[in-house]
Chain A
Amino acid sequence: MSTPVINLTIPANPVEEILRSERIPHMWCSGCGIGTSVNSFATALLDMKMDLNKLSIVSGIGCTGRVAGYTNLDSFHTTHGRAIPFATGLKLANPDMTVVVYSGDGDLFAIGGNHLIHAARRNMDLKVICVNNLTYAMTGGQTGPATPLDVITATAPYGTYDPAFNLPYLVEAAGAVYVARWTTFHVKQLAKSMAEMFKKKGFGFIEVISPCPTLYQRRNKMGDGLDAMKFYKEVSKIKHGTPTNEVGLTKSGEIIVGKFVDRERPDFITMMRAHLQQRLGDQYIQAEGPVCG
């Protein structure tokens, strides 16, 4: 007779390392894809063995903005639409820091739109992860700049009649050097894309299409989060390199995913330093990171 031995040492969930475990369960709904995107994020960080002391996460307001509060990193939950300028200041003060901006479609493209295009123009070295659930989820599912045509929202009870931004197209036009889109179905590819973006200097942008079951899905009779995930699986086509003007989204049409832009252009800090060095020569004293009495 042998006594059953219970093996109590089980490998930890790899994502746990970057979570503030004491804050979980989190506030996201059942079937929301934001948590899924965080798994890809954790995978990317761990696969790249990033020094987590040299990485900060900055978010705005909204459901996706809450990611900052759940990640065990130097995390900054800022004001609506202004994660990118905060991140700009953080990066300029400490150029060795990898600064990730993790925010939602409304936060980054409506109220934050101006800051987004300027940061892309400057090629500020920021890694922007935009979880696009096609709505302003936190406040109850209102129309956002990414909400497709003819979708029912809290502020468009008869359906939207103005078109959405094509996020990759806009960001490419503004100057981003890395532009990709995945859905929360594409967990592995998303992790890989994030890792690729972290390695690349300059303004990087990944759009992550994600379900909002409680509001977007429900109001438009599209089922729940799982139905959305199955929908993404069914209608997504991986087409790397597709011209971004062709990847706009519709209510129930094809979702083109993949890496669309990966180009080279010096980032803001590199340009600034080179230029000032050239103009000022010996007089130029480069700002060397956190310098505070």
Chain B
Amino acid sequence: MHADPVGVLTGAHFMDGDHAACEGAIAAGARFSAGYPITPSTEVVERFSQRAPKIGATFIQMEDELAASITILGAVWGGVKAFTVTSGPGFSLMMEHIGYAVMTETPCVFIDVQRGGPSTGLPTLPAQADMMQVKWGSHGDYEIIALCPNSPQECFDLTIKAFNFSEQYRTPVFVMMDEVVGHMTEKVVIPSADEIEVEPRRWTTKDKSTFQLFAPCGDELVPEMVKAGDGYKVHVTGLTHDERGYPNGTVAVQDRMVRRLVNKIRNNAEKICLTEEHDIEGADVVVISYGITSRIAQRAVESARAKGIKAGSLRLITAWPFPERIIRALAPKVKGLIVPEINLGQMVREVERCAGGHCRVVPIDHAGGTVHNPEQILKAIEEVVR
């Protein structure tokens, strides 16, 4: 279905990633946000607070991120599309409700504009150090979907994609920005509403006496959705539950429920994993990167190719689920995979795992605070092919 024209600011804009992400959420149909100020994400909700009353949406600033992260879930069960926004310290506070959203299969979007950490860290400077946290930060076994924009335009586009994935798979989806992408100002083209594909919520049409809120429909393993007030008298709990949603603490139900939640993402990974590849065919070395780092990597790869090195680039647009198949296929064909990230080695661990020892895996780490130099990456490329 197409976006609701109300709220779509069609046209060419000069705006930063935070603002573009807000517009993406609105274009995707978000009509509720609960937030809490935290640098460098605050502008996303500040903009939403301005836009909301003019487009029939609601914004509330909650008392902390613990509240914000569950207020949006309440709003979703009340029938709207909702999102929240934060950075590292707030993301840590939201972990419990990320788990709750996964467990209750509540479609929603969390935007994390990453900054230097750990703890209070570097509030106004970039890092990409929440990448493992987004996958593992809450307790228990679960899978999530995380997308990494590398430009304000992508902040718009991928936020819409995030909402669409969330409705498709009835799961929380994460937009992992960073301070640079969030605060850089670039051209953002917002198309007309009828050019924007938006996933509707999968409302059930089943009879009230037979519908089960957590019974998967079809191979995708995704149940249909309802909202409070439709007469289904649903029960939603974070306790391990059966297909009706009723608590059931048996080993059999735990196995069935957790496996389905996990497989719901894993089995559909091919449809969720988005990547951008350049010059992979015949490459001796491939640079794997995501977010803002991918733009520096692109410069380095271009420089290498100008020097005659058969270098290619693989950009992770989807960081989670990790595109295992691509890496497993690629590793035996190259001398090395180079992974620059603004952290001390996070996604590189996934690359190593999937490369399975078939080639060198070279991390280029960075404790945070700024972006890499293309020269660092170029040097690593040259070293691998020497």
Which A residues lie at the B interface, using CB under 8 A? 20, 23, 52-54, 56, 58, 68-69, 72-79, 81-82, 85-94, 96-97, 114-115, 118, 272, 276, 280, 283-293
Contacts and interface: CB of A to CB of B under 8 A. Distances in A.
The secondary-structure label for the interface of chain A is mixed
Contacts of A72: 233
B78 A92 contact: yes
Contacts of A89: 32, 34, 70-78, 82
Given A276-B53, A287-B58, A293 B81 contact: yes
A52 B31 CA distance: 26
A53 B236 CA distance: 16
B63 A86 contact: no
Contacts, number: 173
Contacts of B231: 53
Given A86-B70, A285-B55, A69 B78 contact: no
B24 interface: no
A75 B68 CA distance: 20
Interface string B80-119: 1110000000000000110010000000000000000000
Interface residues of B, number: 55
Given A94-B227, A287-B32, 14 more contacts: A20-B246, A53-B230, A56-B228, A56-B229, A72-B233, A77-B239, A89-B70, A91-B78, A93-B80, A93-B82, A114-B63, A290-B80, A290-B227, A292-B201
A93 B58 contact: yes
Contacts of B70: 78-79, 82, 85-86, 89
Contact of B78 (A20, A82, A97): A97
Contacts of B198: 293
Nearest to A279: B53
A230 B200 CA distance: 56
Top 9 A-B pairs, shortest CB-CB distance: A290-B79, A93-B78, A89-B74, A77-B237, A89-B75, A85-B67, A89-B71, A86-B74, A74-B228
A207 B264 CA distance: 42
Interface of B: 1, 4, 6, 29, 31-32, 34, 52-58, 60, 62-64, 66-68, 70-82, 96-97, 100, 198, 200-201, 227-239, 246-247
A79 B96 contact: yes
A114 B63 CA distance: 8
Contacts of B238: 77-79
A85 B77 CA distance: 13
A291 B80 contact: yes
A31 to B, nearest CB: 23
Contact of A88 (B56, B71, B96, B232): B71
6 contacts: A76-B228, A77-B236, A284-B54, A285-B56, A293-B198, A293-B201
B119 to A, nearest CB: 21
A69 B67 contact: no
Contacts of B53: 276, 280, 283-285
